[in-house]
Amino acid sequence: MSDSRLIVHEGKNGNIYWLATDRKQVNAAMQALFDLLDAQGCYHDWCNPDVQDDLDAARSGEHIPIYRILKARQEYPNEKWRVVYAIDPCEPKP
């Protein structure tokens, strides 16, 4: 059986799950998570001048700054996320 990766965001409104099986899905999930947290105002008062360039780049859709920001704030309340693995029961057994 093969494993499928999921990115789980543990937010104030419950958990959100994104498929993250390949690079395209990982990038899309990270973009969606960043956009969600940005829309919720998580980065509004994060005025460290060292991260302003990363914030600007992330807001324009650059994946490396998005990941860097999400990783740096991964354990903040309402910003938690993690990768979990799910087994596809339809996959043939080895």
Indicate the helix (H) or strand (E) that contains 87.
strand 80-87
Instruction: Report pLDDT for 47.
Output: 64
Q: Provide long-range contacts, Cβ within 8 A and 24+ apart, for 29-32.
A: 30/63, 30/66, 30/67, 30/70, 31/61, 31/63, 31/66
- Sheet of 3-11: strand order equals 14-19, 3-11, 80-87
Taking only the tens place, the pLDDT of each residue in 64-94 is 999 999 999 898 888 999 999 988 788 777 6
Domain-by-domain residue ranges, the chain?
Answer: 22-85
Taking only the tens place, the pLDDT of each residue in 15-63 is 999 999 899 999 999 999 999 999 999 988 766 667 788 899 999 999 9
